[in-house]
């Protein structure tokens, strides 16, 4: 790595020196005269340094490296997203000294008093000083207003504004979210919008040039250039239990505000959504990470078609194979994915895969680590069939696996996008069996997002609440929840639990 870094650094220095030499030559050639006590300086047109860096095209021809055409092509389709969250001010807050007020936020009060803490001040009485502004980026993917961004950009927002490259402002609606990949899909009411087409992220190669486009530090329409530093990176940044991290790593400068922006190739195709940086300071330190476009495409399709992401699971626990693990377990390979254990009702286990096997290929594609395996399987749905090649004590075996959901099903589940959920301002998702067992409940519906609606305006309920009962009737599925509430009027009581707080909580509201 150090050698490669020094080589690239040397190339940049060579380019800079050459550019300086050309510039100095221009000034020396034209000269500076003060014969008439005036200074006349002639300047060359353009910047010579632009022509000092070259690359090789697909035909093997040496051509100047420049990004102006691609930048003009993609910038109009990258938007600035402002998330607005109404801050809850508790009683007595105005008596707290100014220097301590920043410590008394919602999270701190919730820590001490539990999730029921919420200020009851009506939304129409809040002033501008009580609004927390967040900033991020998004990519327009369809002419009719669909925009993809990061889930963490819009999470917990009460309002979302999308600012286009031409400064037009629109209110955005959340179509769906997927915390396991940190992606979210928005829509604005507009047509004829510019878009960035998707490229095949499986074809991305280490070393190829890329551009990162976004709005770092509130600086709209910013473009940075770099190369793909690695693929299939897992940096353990997503906290979701089913997180899929198979990032594209780049050294194009990515900073706070770039989240949700575009990573594009030299053809102007979207190869990733910028998501995270590795930094000791919180600002750019050389490495950024993007969700590959093939994962993005699958998540978007699921959210539009089914209302929730359909993810297939092998039903195994895994770890990376390296030289140390190979020596410890006497394996015949030094790369791949080691099957540590087989879960109950496992799709891979039922197909014949055993603990101790090392997965080498999925659908004929080599996998060297966990991230690559998760990236491929994460693009599949329950019921999809995949082929696995494994090493079992030096012998290669092939298995055909029919993927299942976390609940062990092969069928597709749909989230009902009905009027009652919009009235409530809630997005809910059925919990898996493992979570239900841990909480000692039969099942329930987790609130994964709250927006403007009855629940936010009339109750203190928080994201993460698991609804187990509606008016003393158990609910396990979205359809059950909807059927109990649609065409309903009057008071309603929901009952449930939080994963991180003991006890049962009750919330009442009126329809």
Active-site residue list = 152, 182, 259
* C-alpha–C-alpha distance, residues 231 and 251, integer Å: 12
Beta bridge partners of residue 509, listed in sequence order: 492
* C-alpha–C-alpha distance, residues 70 and 208, integer Å: 15
Residue 323 has, within 13 A of its CA and on its CB side, a CA count of 0
C-alpha closest to that of 234 among 247, 222, 243? 247
Q: 3-class SS at 220? A: coil
Q: 3-class SS at 56? A: strand
Question: Dihedral of the CA atoms 398, 404, 405, 409 (nearest 10)?
Answer: -170
Beta bridge partners of residue 227, listed in sequence order: 209
Which single residue is written with the structure tokens 């359909």? 310
Gyration radius from the chain CA atoms: 27
Q: Which DSSP state fits 315?
A: -
**Residues 6 or more apart in contact with residue 305 via CB below 8 angstroms:** none
Q: 3-class SS at 311? A: coil
* C-alpha–C-alpha distance, residues 75 and 70, integer Å: 8
Q: Which two tokens stand for residue 270?
A: 């979207």
Task: Note the helical H segments in 31-89.
Answer: 68-74
Q: 3-class SS at 429? A: strand
Q: Which DSSP state fits 215?
A: -
C-alpha closest to that of 236 among 377, 334, 369? 369
DSSP 247-310: EEEE-S---TT-TT-EEE-TTS-EEEEEEEEE-SSSS-SSEEEEEEHHHHHHHHHHHHHHSS--
Backbone angles phi, psi at 398, to 5 degrees: -115, 140
* C-alpha–C-alpha distance, residues 67 and 50, integer Å: 10
Q: Which two tokens stand for residue 11?
A: 């190339």
Q: Are 274 and 222 in contact (CB under 8 A)?
A: no
Which single residue is written with the structure tokens 């089914």? 306
* C-alpha–C-alpha distance, residues 459 and 375, integer Å: 39
CA 392 to chain centre: 35
What is the end-to-end Cα distance of the chain in Å, rounded? 62
* C-alpha–C-alpha distance, residues 118 and 97, integer Å: 21
* C-alpha–C-alpha distance, residues 385 and 314, integer Å: 11
* C-alpha–C-alpha distance, residues 401 and 385, integer Å: 6
């Amino acid at each position: 790595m150090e050698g490669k870094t020094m080589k690239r650094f040397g190339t940049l220095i060579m380019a800079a020196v050459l550019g300086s030499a050309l510039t100095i030559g221009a000034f020396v050639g034209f000269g500076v005269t003060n014969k008439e006590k005036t200074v006349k300086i002639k300047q060359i047109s353009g910047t010579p340094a632009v022509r000092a860096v070259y690359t090789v095209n697909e035909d093997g021809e040496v051509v100047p490296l420049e990004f102006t055409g691609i930048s003009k092509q993609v910038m109009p389709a990258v938007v600035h997203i402002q998330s607005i969250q109404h801050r809850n001010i508790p009683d007595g807050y105005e008596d707290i000294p100014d220097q301590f007020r920043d410590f008394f936020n919602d999270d701190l009060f919730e820590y001490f008093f539990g999730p029921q803490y919420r200020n009851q001040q009506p939304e129409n009485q809040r002033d501008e000083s009580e609004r927390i502004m967040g900033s991020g980026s998004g990519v327009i993917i369809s002419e009719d207003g669909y925009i993809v961004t990061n889930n963490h950009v819009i999470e917990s927002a009460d309002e979302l504004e999308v600012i286009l490259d031409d400064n037009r402002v629109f209110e955005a609606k959340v179509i769906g979210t997927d915390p396991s990949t940190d992606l979210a899909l928005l829509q604005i009411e507009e047509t004829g919008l510019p878009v960035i087409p998707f490229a095949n992220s499986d074809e991305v190669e280490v070393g190829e040039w890329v551009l990162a486009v976004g709005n770092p530090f509130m600086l709209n329409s910013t473009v940075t250039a770099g190369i793909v530093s690695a693929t299939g990176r897992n940096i353990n940044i997503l906290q979701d239990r089913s997180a899929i991290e198979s990032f594209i790593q780049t050294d194009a400068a990515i900073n706070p505000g770039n989240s949700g922006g575009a990573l594009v190739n030299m053809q102007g195709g979207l190869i990733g959504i910028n998501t995270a940086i590795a930094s000791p300071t919180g600002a750019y330190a050389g490495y950024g990470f993007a969700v590959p476009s093939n994962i993005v495409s699958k998540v978007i399709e699921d959210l539009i078609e089914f209302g929730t992401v359909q993810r297939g699971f092998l039903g195994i626990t895994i770890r990376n194979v390296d030289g140390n693990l190979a020596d410890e377990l006497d394996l015949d390979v030094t790369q791949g994915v080691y099957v540590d254990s087989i879960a109950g009702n496992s799709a891979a286990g039922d197909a014949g895969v055993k603990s101790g096997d090392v997965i080498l290929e999925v659908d004929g594609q080599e996998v060297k680590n966990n991230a690559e395996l998760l990236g491929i399987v994460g693009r599949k749905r329950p019921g999809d069939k995949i082929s696995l090649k494994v090493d079992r004590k030096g012998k290669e075996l092939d298995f055909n696996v029919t993927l299942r959901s976390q609940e062990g099903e092969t069928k597709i589940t749909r989230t009902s996008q009905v009027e009652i959920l919009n009235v409530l301002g809630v997005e809910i998702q059925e919990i898996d069996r493992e979570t239900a067992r841990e909480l000692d409940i039969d099942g329930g519906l987790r609130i994964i997002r709250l927006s403007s609606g009855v629940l936010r305006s009339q109750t203190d309920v928080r994201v993460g609440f698991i609804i187990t009962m509606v008016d003393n009737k158990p609910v396990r599925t979205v359809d059950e929840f909807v059927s109990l509430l649609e065409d309903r009027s009057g008071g309603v009581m929901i009952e449930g639990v939080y994963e991180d707080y003991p006890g049962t909580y009750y919330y009442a509201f009126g329809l």
